[in-house]
Amino acid sequence: MRAATLAFAGVAAFGLFEAASAAIIPAKAVVAQVLLERAFDRSVATHQPVKPWPWADMAPIARITIPRLGLREVALDSGSGQALAFGPTFLPTAAAPGAPGTAVAAAHRDTHFRGLGEAKIGDTIIVEGIDGRSTSYRVDSLQVTRWDRFAVSSDRSAARLALVTCYTFGAVTHGPMRYVVQASKI
Amino acid sequence: MLTSHRLIAVSAIALGAALAVTASTPLVAQDAVEEDQGPGGGVLMLRAKGDGTAVSAIQLGTDMDVTVSGQVARIRVTQAFRNTSTKWVEASYLYPLPEDGAVDTLKMVVGQRVIIGKIKRREEAQKIYEKAVKDGRKASLVEQQRPNMFTNRVANVGPGETVIVQIEYQMPVRQVGGAFSLRLPLVVGERYVPPHTIVSQAALRDARTITAGAIVRPVPGQMLNPVSIAVHLSPGFTPAGLKSPYHRIAVEGQGASREIRLAGGQVAADRDFELSWRAASNEPVVGAFKQKVGSQTYVMATVVSPITATAPPPPREMVFVIDNSGSMGGDSMVEAKASLEHALRTLRPQDHFNVIRFDDTMTQLFEHSVRATPEQVQTAIRFARSLEATGGTEMLPALKAALADAATVGDASTVRQIIFLTDGDISNEEEMAAAIAADQGKSHLFPVGIGSAPNNYLMARMATMGRGTYTNIGSAEEVSPKMTALLDALQRPAVQDVKVTVSGKVDLTPKILPDIYSGQSLVVLGRTDKLQGTMTVSGRIGARLWSSTLDLSQAVDSPAVAKLWARKRIDDIETERTLGSLDSAKADEEIADIGLDHSLVTSQTSLIAEDRKDPRRPANEPLTREELPLNLPAGWDFDKLIGGEAARLAMTNAAAHGSSVADTAEAVELPETATNFAATLANGLLLALIGGLGLLWQRRRKVAR
């Protein structure tokens, strides 16, 4: 009898732990954005990257807004999985936002970039930097690609922006496909 | 003790089930390219020669005069090159031909004189032409770049002068599902040249030749390269149901002949012209034509397969490949997506399927073909709808991926069909054919040529090598009827193991006989010393034997049969070359011999007409070379192709690097971007619930005791 009780208790405890660790993800995403918003505003005021909380290993560098979708997120400067939990991150391997070349920002499809699937060609994306300047982009392509087969143009003559998230939206497992919204500076 | 064992087992099963929920991986889009082609960067060979809006010196007008007699069409194309400038000009025009057409005549009209072109080996013709160019004499050179793509060059057209060049070719009439049709391409679609094919100066020259000097942004109310078309139709029976799906036509005449003209007089050369007709009555259609040339008699026979009943459909695996490259932008993409969706909706749960899309990247929807459950089909439809036309056309990896998956589903009886939706605008047709040959017939290939001016040479070649048939879809209205017809034919058993037997010794072509699908026809051509007896085409439909016999003594005289035989024989040689059973140099030699014998333009022979008499251009006047601009095929999205990112890159690239080809893109690895907290949360709660219920149940039992 005791063995069975133990097994059920174990299953219940494991389930609760799993549920809690999952539930914390969206909570963390929302709370982090509040702190990041604050840190970003201070960064703009001081023109210095300000850490959102003392032990953070990344700092906000831009605010991405897609007015039509009501999407507004503060983006971070490191493309690690940890930073992705808190906000969209610009990939260090690509160009810096606003600089010539293509800047690539990635975020989770089920938290910060949940609305990205609704983006349409012609939508405006605004990226504010911590220097207070904002750059507007116009969406000109939507594509689905494999994570390791994505390429950006090596053309340095124009500033472009790519927003990346997992594809398909609404799927329940990890997959190799990514959804990419590309935009050019206007 | 026993109960406690059972309980542990129960909870173990519960845990296992819950974990299985976590571990199952439904609906995962995966890409399984066997060889990674690296980041997608490609070259569309658009030369930075201006966008063609500048007025060109040479104005071109074309008239096509088509005579259909029986099942052969002879087409006379008259092109007037008018020089509106004050310079001496050499004009070069890239024009398309039906994939089974055979050019045999070139005439150049200079003033009152008609100069007849001669067939020469390609290099010799080039030398004669270059000499005439230098001497200031008029000359015209017709060269084959692809079996369905030719260049016509006219040298030394003086200021204000008009030179008329006439070429003639013939082609067989196509017979499908009881209808006869003729498809004349009027414009060459811009081809994508995969960077890996540019390995030598010769390859670069080829790439430059097969791409237009300039492509013109369509301007409403302006007509570039106007064409007029007249068809004299004498099919040998009373025609009915004349249709031209892409042009408005005016029809006159009665009895067994008709005169067809374009209703508006002239049209811009920006889409294929198609004309189809049926027999008014059920009278038997003559199936055999003959021509005597010297001691040889040539024969052409058309055998129509029976419309077979739908048998209990065998298990099948269907792989759909869809092209979403930049050249598909506009109407083509809409048609391709609609065609794919139409096909997906006809899948039955017992079928397996997969979808592959490609531009210069590719995506395989499922890692391997999956059962066509309603959910999987819905996933595929969503995937199809999300496609956007952009980027280059790396078709080979997609084809290889479609062929590679063969061993994974079903047994030997599974029918494997690949439906390939594309406009075919690539330059590496031969690589595609070789990949299909390497598959050794495990898969059947059914190319669907999308758009107003598809590369039908590629379609025909893929269908021949892949033992399938090809279909053209040129407008949104055609999606439903044509896809229905194709899918219907695929459900019916085809005539397989086809053999042709003739009394006497006959050199027959094609050598590799295709499967004949329900309602399709097979055209067999032969050459013999003595034409006699009968020709029997036999095969098997499922387990049943089928045969059809034609009395060759009933064959009707037709002046085109010898040349069509020669043209088909060249296809055989190309197939043997692809299969590796014929050495390439030897193949070239054989093709050259056929070209010279039958006066045909081939890859090895060209037609050259030169004015030997009077040099017209004064030695001190320079000659300006001009490649005539082409229309964009109707329905193409100019901005997707020319204004698009891929093209812009290619343009800067081609201009900057000249003969070298550099990568146009940098790879960026994308991080994992899904937390899947919702799924984890659900699984966690489910487990907690199972555990909780178990504990509750235990308590109850304890209390009860």
> Are the beta carbons of B7 and A3 separated by less than 8 Å?
yes
- Let me know whether B532 and B416 are in one domain: no
Contact present, A4 and B7 (Cβ < 8 Å): yes
Chain A residues 62-101 with a CB less than 8 Å from chain B:
79-81, 84-85, 89, 91, 93-94
- Let me know whether B198 and B261 are in one domain: yes
> Are the beta carbons of A11 and B687 separated by less than 8 Å?
yes
Contact present, B91 and B592 (Cβ < 8 Å): no
pLDDT of A16-40, one tens digit each?
Answer: 888 888 888 888 888 888 888 888 8
Chain A CB contacts of B36 under 8 Å are 149
Given B361, B675, B690, which is nearest A11 (Cβ)?
A: B690
Chain A CB contacts of B382 under 8 Å are 168
Rama region for B573: left / alpha / beta (φ>0; ψ in -120 to 50; rest):
alpha
Where chain B has pLDDT below 50, the residues are 1-55, 642-665
- Let me know whether B172 and B298 are in one domain: no
Q: How far is CA B234 from CA A127, B68, B157, in A?
A: 68, 6, 38
Contact present, B537 and B510 (Cβ < 8 Å): no
> Are the beta carbons of B672 and A144 separated by less than 8 Å?
no
> Are the beta carbons of A14 and B691 separated by less than 8 Å?
yes
Nearest CA in chain B to A165: B673
- Let me know whether B42 and B98 are in one domain: yes
Query: Which amino acid appears at position A44 of this protein?
Result: V
The CA angle B257-B260-B262, to the nearest 5 degrees, is 180
Given B39, B684, B695, which is nearest A22 (Cβ)?
A: B684
Q: How far is CA B655 from CA A64, B48, B625, B639, B658, in A?
A: 36, 6, 19, 19, 6
Given A107, A154, A173, which is nearest B676 (Cβ)?
A: A173
Chain A CB contacts of B645 under 8 Å are 140-141, 153
Work out the burial of residue B390: count CB atoms within 10 Å of its CB; fewer than 13 is exposed, 13-18 middle, 19 or more buried: buried
- Let me know whether B329 and B447 are in one domain: yes
- Let me know whether B109 and B15 are in one domain: yes
Cα A9 to Cα A23: distance, rounded to the nearest angstrom:
21
> Three-class SS of residue B499?
strand
- Those residues with Cβ within 8 angstroms of residue B557's Cβ, 6 or more apart along the chain or in another chain: B289, B290, B291
Interface test with A, best of B677, B680, B705 (most A CBs within 10 A): B677
Cα B40 to Cα A152: distance, rounded to the nearest angstrom:
9
Cα B441 to Cα B439: distance, rounded to the nearest angstrom:
6
Closest Cα to residue B77, out of B50, B37, B106? B106
Closest Cα to residue B401, out of B424, B418, B425? B418
- Those residues with Cβ within 8 angstroms of residue B593's Cβ, 6 or more apart along the chain or in another chain: none
| Residue B583 belongs to some domain of the structure | no
> Does residue A104 belong to the interface with chain B, where contact is any CB pair within 8 Å?
yes
Range of the domain at B422: 316-491
> Are the beta carbons of A143 and B652 separated by less than 8 Å?
no
DSSP alpha helix (H) spans, A47-168:
81-84
> Are the beta carbons of B684 and A18 separated by less than 8 Å?
yes
| Residue B617 belongs to some domain of the structure | yes
Query: Per DSSP, what are the bridge partners of residue B231?
Result: B66, B260
Contact present, B138 and B114 (Cβ < 8 Å): no
Neighbours of B224 (CB within 10 A): 20
Chain B CB contacts of A3 under 8 Å are 4, 7-8
Query: Per DSSP, what are the bridge partners of residue B184?
Result: B273
- Strand intervals (E) in B465-574: 471-473, 495-502, 506-509, 521-528, 534-541, 544-551, 556-557
| Residue B633 belongs to some domain of the structure | no
Our CA-based measurement puts residue A11 at a distance from the nearest CA of chain B, in whole angstroms, of 5
Interface test with B, best of A16, A104, A146 (most B CBs within 10 A): A146
What is the full DSSP assignment across B269-283? S-S-EEEEEEESS-P
pLDDT for residue B527: 92
Q: State the complex-level ipTM.
A: 0.76
Cα B101 to Cα B168: distance, rounded to the nearest angstrom:
10
Chain A CB contacts of B361 under 8 Å are 145-146, 149-151
Task: Read off φ and ψ for residue A39, nearest 5 degrees.
Answer: -60, -35
Given A152, A166, A176, which is nearest B31 (Cβ)?
A: A176
- Let me know whether B165 and B222 are in one domain: yes
pLDDT for residue A182: 84
> Are the beta carbons of A110 and B674 separated by less than 8 Å?
yes
| 3-class SS letters over B89-103 | EEEEEEEECCCCCEE
Please give the torsion angle defined by the CA atoms of residues B392, B394, B398 and B400, in that order, rounded to the nearest 10 degrees: 180
> Are the beta carbons of B12 and A10 separated by less than 8 Å?
no
pLDDT for residue B54: 38
Closest Cα to residue A173, out of B683, B674, B670, B354? B674
Given A104, A152, A174, which is nearest B665 (Cβ)?
A: A152
> Are the beta carbons of B674 and A109 separated by less than 8 Å?
yes
Q: Which two tokens stand for residue B96?
A: 């398309």
| Residue B541 belongs to some domain of the structure | yes
Work out the burial of residue B564: count CB atoms within 10 Å of its CB; fewer than 13 is exposed, 13-18 middle, 19 or more buried: buried
| Residue B301 belongs to some domain of the structure | yes
Our CA-based measurement puts residue B429 at a distance from the nearest CA of chain A, in whole angstroms, of 24
Query: Which amino acid appears at position A8 of this protein?
Result: F
- Let me know whether B133 and B203 are in one domain: yes
Domain count, chain B: 4
Nearest CA in chain A to B647: A153
| Residue B404 belongs to some domain of the structure | yes
Query: Which amino acid appears at position B487 of this protein?
Result: L
pLDDT for residue B419: 94
Given A19, A164, A173, which is nearest B681 (Cβ)?
A: A19
- Let me know whether B253 and B348 are in one domain: no
> Are the beta carbons of A166 and B674 separated by less than 8 Å?
yes
> Are the beta carbons of A3 and B652 separated by less than 8 Å?
no
Given A110, A147, A168, which is nearest B676 (Cβ)?
A: A110
Nearest CA in chain B to A143: B388
> Are the beta carbons of A18 and B11 separated by less than 8 Å?
no
| 3-class SS letters over B567-606 | HHHHHHHHHHHHHCCCCHHHHHHHHHHHHHHHCCCCCCEE
> Are the beta carbons of B684 and A15 separated by less than 8 Å?
yes
Chain A CB contacts of B666 under 8 Å are 151-154
- Let me know whether B154 and B59 are in one domain: yes
Given A16, A109, A148, which is nearest B673 (Cβ)?
A: A109
- In a 13 Å sphere around the CA of B482, the CA atoms on its Cβ side amount to 23
pLDDT for residue B704: 67
> Does residue A114 belong to the interface with chain B, where contact is any CB pair within 8 Å?
no
> Are the beta carbons of B669 and A111 separated by less than 8 Å?
no
Task: State how beta strands B534-541 and B495-502 pair.
Answer: antiparallel
Residue with tokens 């070349």: A101
pLDDT of B99-131, one tens digit each?
Answer: 888 899 999 987 778 899 999 999 999 999 999
Cα B575 to Cα B579: distance, rounded to the nearest angstrom:
6
Long-range contacts of B6-15 (CB under 8 A, 24+ apart): B7/A1, B7/A3, B7/A4, B7/A7, B7/B694, B7/B698, B8/A3, B8/A4, B8/A7, B10/B694, B11/A4, B11/A7, B11/A8, B11/A11, B11/B690, B11/B694, B12/A7, B14/A11, B14/B690, B14/B694, B15/A11, B15/B687, B15/B690
> Are the beta carbons of B674 and A108 separated by less than 8 Å?
yes
Which helix or strand (DSSP H or E) is residue B168 part of? Answer: strand B162-172
Average pLDDT, chain A: 79
Our CA-based measurement puts residue B658 at a distance from the nearest CA of chain A, in whole angstroms, of 17
Chain B CB contacts of A115 under 8 Å are none
pLDDT for residue B181: 92
8-state DSSP, B555: P
pLDDT of A56-90, one tens digit each?
Answer: 777 788 899 998 888 888 888 765 556 778 888 88
> Three-class SS of residue B228?
strand
Chain B CB contacts of A137 under 8 Å are none
Nearest CA in chain B to A13: B688
Establish, for the pair of chains A and B, how many residue pairs have beta carbons separated by less than 8 Å. Answer: 233
**pLDDT of A172 above 60:** no
CATH of the domain at B480: 3.40.50.410
- Let me know whether B548 and B661 are in one domain: no
> Are the beta carbons of B671 and A155 separated by less than 8 Å?
no
Given B4, B28, B664, which is nearest A1 (Cβ)?
A: B4
Chain A residues 147-186 with a CB less than 8 Å from chain B:
147-155, 164-168, 171-178, 180
- Let me know whether B121 and B209 are in one domain: yes
pLDDT of B316-364, one tens digit each?
Answer: 889 999 999 888 888 889 889 999 999 999 888 888 899 999 988 888 8
| Residue B44 belongs to some domain of the structure | yes
CA B231 remoteness from chain centre: 25
Contact present, B569 and B530 (Cβ < 8 Å): no
Chain A CB contacts of B390 under 8 Å are 141, 143
The verdict on pTM exceeding 0.95 is no
- Those residues with Cβ within 8 angstroms of residue A63's Cβ, 6 or more apart along the chain or in another chain: A40, A72, A73, A74, A75, A127, A128
| Residue B635 belongs to some domain of the structure | no
